[in-house]
Amino acid sequence: IRYLPAHPHEGSVGVPTGANARVIARGTSKATGRRFNLIVAFEPEAGLGPAVAESSFHHFADYNLDPSRGCPSFVSEAPGHALQASPGAMRA
């Protein structure tokens, strides 16, 4: 994974003891430098299918892809500029 749509909000996700799962992406806090799990993939088990747990990249919306389109009325933070600064991310 080279680019992620926004920023995680729900914190680290983990692999329960005994689960047939693995961490497939990790991030690093810009505030503390601490590494944390972003995405965990679970293999199918008896009666259960495969699953993915992720650290809630819930801002994957037009507002993040193109801030010039405006934002929802409940958003109070300023828009980011990462996509405009890294145009290759839109093609990835």
pLDDT attached to residue 37? 86
Strand partners, 22: 41
Establish if 40 belongs to a structural domain. Answer: yes
Q: Give the Cα separation of 37 and 53 in Å (integer).
A: 10
pLDDT attached to residue 9? 64
Nearest alpha carbon to residue 49 among 40, 57, 58, 41: 41
pLDDT attached to residue 42? 92
pTM equals 0.56
Establish if 38 belongs to a structural domain. Answer: yes
Q: What is the pLDDT of residues 2-21, one digit of tens each?
A: 666 566 665 678 888 888 99
Q: What is the pLDDT of residues 42-88, one digit of tens each?
A: 999 888 889 888 776 555 555 666 777 777 777 776 766 777 777 77
pLDDT attached to residue 2? 67
pLDDT attached to residue 21? 92
Establish if 69 belongs to a structural domain. Answer: no
Count of domains in the chain? Answer: 1
| Contact assessment for residue 35 and residue 25, using Cβ atoms and an 8 Å cutoff | no
Establish if 87 belongs to a structural domain. Answer: no
In degrees and rounded to multiples of 5, residue 84 shows phi and psi of -70, -35
Dihedral sign computed on CA atoms, order 30, 32, 33, 39: negative
* Residues spanned by the domain of 21: 1-58
Q: Give the Cα separation of 11 and 32 in Å (integer).
A: 13
